[in-house]
Structure 1
Amino acid sequence: MSKLDELIKEFCPDGVEYKRLGEIGTLIRGNGLQKKDFTKSGVGCIHYGQIYTHYGVYANQTISFVSEQTAKKLKKVEPGDLVITSTSENVEDVCKCVAWLGKESIVTGGHAMIFKHHENPKYLSYFFQSSQFFKQKVKMAIGVKVIDVSPQKLEKTLVPVPPLKVQSEIVKILDNFTELTAELTAELTAELTARKKQYEYYRNRLLTFDMNISEMKLSDVCDYVDYRGKTPVKSDSGVFLVTAKNIKKGYIDYDSSKEYIPADTYDDVMHRGFPQVGDVLITTEAPCGNVAQVDRADVALAQRVIKLRGKTNILRNRYLKFILLSQLFQDRLMKAATGSTVKGIKGSTLLRLSIPVPSLDVQDKIADVLDNFDKVCNDLHIGLPAEIEARKKQYEFYRDSLLTFLEKGESILTDRQTDRQTDRQTELKYALIKLLQYVFGYVTVEIGEVCQLITGATPDTKKNEYWEDGNIPWLSSGEVSKKRIKSTDSFITEIGYKNSSTTLVPPQTVVIALAGQGKTRGKVAITEIELCTNQSLCSMVCGDLILPEYLYFYLDGKYEQLRAISNGDGTRGGLSLRLLRPYKIPLPPLESQNHIVLVLRRFEQLINDISSGLPAEIEARKKQYEYYRDKLLSFKEKKG
């Protein structure tokens, strides 16, 4: 049993009395106080608008002040009082409150009420956030554009009023949970910010093409409408007008600005071209370069907005949105834009800018991948936004449970669950590679990104105990010509291994000669046993994204190129890990790698069979020749 349950059992075992707000205190309506009255110092004040935007459950300091002369005209807030908003633009915010816990008296103004009482102020403030209160508030709120709750109606609110000791314990629990929730929400928000940066990185990486992709002007691949011209007549209602303010990074924000045009003027305003779902919008000024996709057709488009629509069989609108958001295009846009303080671009200049246009299949894959990333970052139903939302709902559940007293006088509490974040840098790198493989069929990577590179060493050859009767295979650079290493010419002992810097590498390791006489440098082999090598060999231990035999066959075909990048002249040049790590190779998905390996392995076997078969065939032909020769030259001796 928790301490709270014990207190409830002791002080209110039969339940808690519900009282009307007017029975436990007095509501006083505020007056005056405008933002122009604020001073840098003086008497602390709380403006009703700040309760929405700044203050939480309680406050012990104010962010604003007024002069003593102004303060005398305003209503006083004593320590322990609640300051409650009486008006708002929505029912959710009306009657939000803050408990004043500062040491000095402060003042408040119009659109606010002061509640004076003898209860725990934080307990009451928490109650004003609860679902119990919200259900009552909805019934007493009036108004459409401005929602209002009068003191007379608010006084009738029913409040559970347990003994002060119970109130204090509830406050203690909720304070703790509020702090934990705030910390976790901050962590998740930081993680979400990191995910968004990661998403931007992936987007920019996906839209930076290593291969030869055609570049085309926007005017050649899009139908477009520039809505620059006369400002349309506005109205209080009608058709929603999408302005540059509404266009964000990839979506239309219908809350940031709400402007309308009369419905009967819609056809005339949009006579240049009506928007369709899927059309892509880009702003030309204030701000320049914001991009969104039309998600509903019943909108009008304002000045400083250009509508783009990809031409059939050339450009997908979904891909167009992402390429316009990419760093590649944004850099081109800003370079072409004019203005020092406020950047802007003419529609004609914008349409001359070019974008990479891959095949429709690649465009679809890019859009699919980036749509999924976008949902994880922004959709409230999945990913971290969902986790943050879940934490808020969990907090609300705890709060409402604590403030709901059943007839038996029991509270509802559950154990807190904790989440842990793990470091996934390697996973993220591999995920990016797989993503690019999915979209383009292959990705160009550096060997060091998919393999661990290791060099060997040679134990002291003057010490017999390092070599004599050794059982650890030790490979020299001259043996790479064997191609598939099933055995080595030399072995070292355990003591020789421990007293040198050579390293054992597993079977299916690709080795390449870093140096060597004549044609050795640049040759590659693949091991079929565990072994160690000398210092003239580099061992490449493959990670999860690359098949060893694929790497072996690829590097085997790059012999001349590998020798060309060696340091030094043709006789004494050498490769190094520094040169090999950044060496770039094409990397298809594992399934494709495996197919390539199977084909090349068959060719290799065929060549080996011919090479081994021809000498035997030649030898047989020689014997056959010798037989016939001898037969032909063997005559029956003439008698007499």
Structure 2
Amino acid sequence: MTPHQSKIEKLIAQLCPNGVEFKELGELVNILDSQRSPVTREKREIGEVPYYGANGIQSYVKDYIFDGTFLLMGEDGSVINKDGSPVLNWVSGRIWVNNHAHILSEIKDKALLRYIYFSLQKTDVTKLVRGTPPKLNQQSLRGIKIPLPPIAIQEEIVTILNSFTELEAELEAELEAREKQYEHYRLELLMFGEGIEWNTLSEVAHFMNGKGHEKHIDENGKYIVVNSKFVSTEGRVKKYSVKQISPVSKNDLLMVMSDLPNGKALAKCFYVDENDKYTLNQRICALTVKNNEKINAKFLFYILNRNKQLLRYDSGADQTNLRKDDILEIKIPVPSIAEQERIVKILDKFDALVNDISIGLPAELSARRLQYEYYRGKLLTFNEYAK
């Protein structure tokens, strides 16, 4: 037990031994939705101010409509996580928000906004979300019940949970530094001059587009749906389908074709490790090597993953949508098969150290996230006071 936890238990015994009141969210925060202002892509002036939608930053603009610390909650579209909790974004500074995210600010002496943020992270809003696309309207938002201990207890809870998120941020920064180091070595190994053969991607690989799976998503489905979230998280975030609408085969390369401005998913690739396991979602393409005696599929994966010839299409202002021709016209180096295999062997080792969830930093980061979720659940569970 940490000193903070011990202090919380003493405060509960002193201030609320019989439980706490559960209050509606609408009583605890300011809801600033009336001040939102959507701007179409065509009318947005490119700048450095984050422009937020339901699930986060959509682009960057010149002007702002809010300046401070706020909690954003998805209103329609991307509004709910797999565990039933609402999609939340904690933001500070100057921002612009469109009409797809609710905007919450703190009411002094009522509740700490950071406490509200942590509490909502473990709140199931499944029954409050309605329609297609999914929508969490303001009336439902206002009615969400939040356990409200005294401010002194809220402060201690926030201190503990902030320490977890800060440690997680440090690990993420260290992992990002390791990834940059890996990327440096990858680029060094994949730098070729004019002494070797170069082909267009269309000459060495077949192309296939994915298809929508919305009607077949089921957590008990047999097939993993390869979408941008799956690829960008190295396969850690999964959805399942009961139908394999777009089958892919072992050694195929799957690439994300669409992403938000300055996103990290565009042109990111996934290497298929076995047959009859995956189904390809829309805006993800599959590339199959035409001649294995000429191109090693794993070598091609390393060449294509976040390839700069494709990243140049990201304007930094609007969503990027790669076309089939954009992808197939890029140039691919073709050294000898022996050289390709040598490079693959080296990069496989680097890749495992950086991305393998069972090794080093990724494993520690995963453990810390589980620990955070455990303590968050424990700290935010209160008995309701019976009046």
Q: Which amino acid aligns with 2:53?
A: G
- Name the SS of the counterpart of 1:120 in structure 2: coil
| 8 Å Cα contact 2:11/2:153 also seen in 1 | yes
| 8 Å Cα contact 2:253/2:270 also seen in 1 | yes
Q: Which residue, 319, 331, 337 being the options, matches 1:357? A: 337
Q: Report the structure number with the largest CA radius of gyration.
A: 1
* Displacement of 1:149: 1.6
Give distance in 2, aligned partners of 1:372 and 1:238.
39
The correspondence of residues 346-495 of structure 1 with structure 2, limited to 5 A, is: 354-358=334-338, 363=341, 367=344, 370-405=347-382
What is the TM-score when the length of structure 2 is the normalising length? Answer: 0.56
Q: Which residue, 49, 53, 56 being the options, matches 1:52? A: 56
* Displacement of 1:204: 5.2
Give distance in 1, aligned partners of 2:15 and 2:255.
65
C-alpha RMSD of the superposition = 6.1
Asked whether 1:122 is paired with 2:138, we answer no
Asked whether 1:17 is paired with 2:20, we answer yes
* Displacement of 1:91: 0.8
Q: Which amino acid aligns with 1:96?
A: L
Task: Determine the structure 2 residue equivalent to 1:183.
Answer: 170
| 8 Å Cα contact 1:140/1:153 also seen in 2 | yes
* Displacement of 1:33: 0.8
* Displacement of 1:374: 2.2
| 8 Å Cα contact 2:252/2:287 also seen in 1 | no
- Name the SS of the counterpart of 1:19 in structure 2: strand
* Displacement of 1:378: 2.5
Distance 1:38 1:20, change over 3 A: farther
Asked whether 1:112 is paired with 2:113, we answer no
Q: Which amino acid aligns with 2:335?
A: I
Distance 1:391 1:196, change over 3 A: farther
Q: Which amino acid aligns with 2:88?
A: K
Task: Determine the structure 2 residue equivalent to 1:524.
Answer: none
Task: Determine the structure 2 residue equivalent to 1:150.
Answer: 137
Residues 253-310 of structure 1: CA distance to partner in whole angstroms, max 9, x if unpaired? 9x9xxxxxxx7xx9xxxxxxx9743246899xxxxx99764567855999x9974234
Distance 1:88 1:390, change over 3 A: farther
- Name the SS of the counterpart of 2:53 in structure 1: helix
Residues 460-491 of structure 1: CA distance to partner in whole angstroms, max 9, x if unpaired? xxxxxxxxxxxxxxxxxxxxxxxxxxxxxxxx
Task: Determine the structure 2 residue equivalent to 1:638.
Answer: none
Task: Determine the structure 1 residue equivalent to 2:151.
Answer: 164
* Displacement of 1:161: 1.3
- Name the SS of the counterpart of 1:147 in structure 2: coil
Task: Determine the structure 2 residue equivalent to 1:277.
Answer: 250
Give distance in 1, aligned partners of 2:328 and 2:190.
24
Task: Determine the structure 2 residue equivalent to 1:87.
Answer: 76
Distance 1:38 1:372, change over 3 A: closer
| 8 Å Cα contact 1:281/1:291 also seen in 2 | yes
Task: Determine the structure 1 residue equivalent to 2:322.
Answer: none
Distance 1:348 1:84, change over 3 A: closer
Give distance in 1, aligned partners of 2:183 and 2:75.
38
Q: Which amino acid aligns with 1:86?
A: E
* Displacement of 1:34: 1.5
* Displacement of 1:127: 3.3
Asked whether 1:65 is paired with 2:64, we answer yes
Give distance in 2, aligned partners of 1:38 and 1:181.
34
Give distance in 1, aligned partners of 2:382 and 2:210.
56
- Name the SS of the counterpart of 2:17 in structure 1: coil
Give distance in 1, aligned partners of 2:158 and 2:329.
62
Q: Which amino acid aligns with 1:357?
A: I
What is the TM-score when the length of structure 1 is the normalising length? Answer: 0.37
Task: Determine the structure 1 residue equivalent to 2:314.
Answer: none
Question: How many aligned residue pairs are there?
Answer: 322
| 8 Å Cα contact 1:279/1:293 also seen in 2 | yes
* Displacement of 1:141: 1.8
Decide which structure has greater strand share.
2
| 8 Å Cα contact 2:70/2:91 also seen in 1 | yes
Q: Which amino acid aligns with 1:138?
A: T
- Identity across matched positions, percent: 22
Task: Determine the structure 2 residue equivalent to 1:321.
Answer: 300
Give distance in 2, aligned partners of 1:39 and 1:98.
24
The correspondence of residues 227-626 of structure 1 with structure 2, limited to 5 A, is: 276-279=249-252, 293=271, 307-311=288-292, 314=293, 317-318=296-297, 320-321=299-300, 324=303, 354-358=334-338, 363=341, 367=344, 370-405=347-382
- Name the SS of the counterpart of 1:179 in structure 2: helix
Distance 1:189 1:216, change over 3 A: closer
* Displacement of 1:5: 2.6
Distance 1:216 1:167, change over 3 A: closer
Give distance in 1, aligned partners of 2:142 and 2:367.
33
| 8 Å Cα contact 2:54/2:100 also seen in 1 | no
The correspondence of residues 210-229 of structure 1 with structure 2, limited to 5 A, is: 224=204
Task: Determine the structure 2 residue equivalent to 1:96.
Answer: 88
Q: Structure 1: 5+ residue runs without aligned partners?
A: 55-61, 72-76, 209-214, 240-244, 256-262, 267-273, 284-288, 334-343, 408-640
Q: Structure 2: 5+ residue runs without aligned partners?
A: 217-226, 238-244, 257-266, 310-324
Task: Determine the structure 2 residue equivalent to 1:140.
Answer: 128
Higher RCO (Cα < 8 Å, 6 or more apart): 2
Give distance in 2, aligned partners of 1:47 and 1:393.
31
Residues 341-385 of structure 1: CA distance to partner in whole angstroms, max 9, x if unpaired? xxx99989969x6421339xx94x764554343233234444423
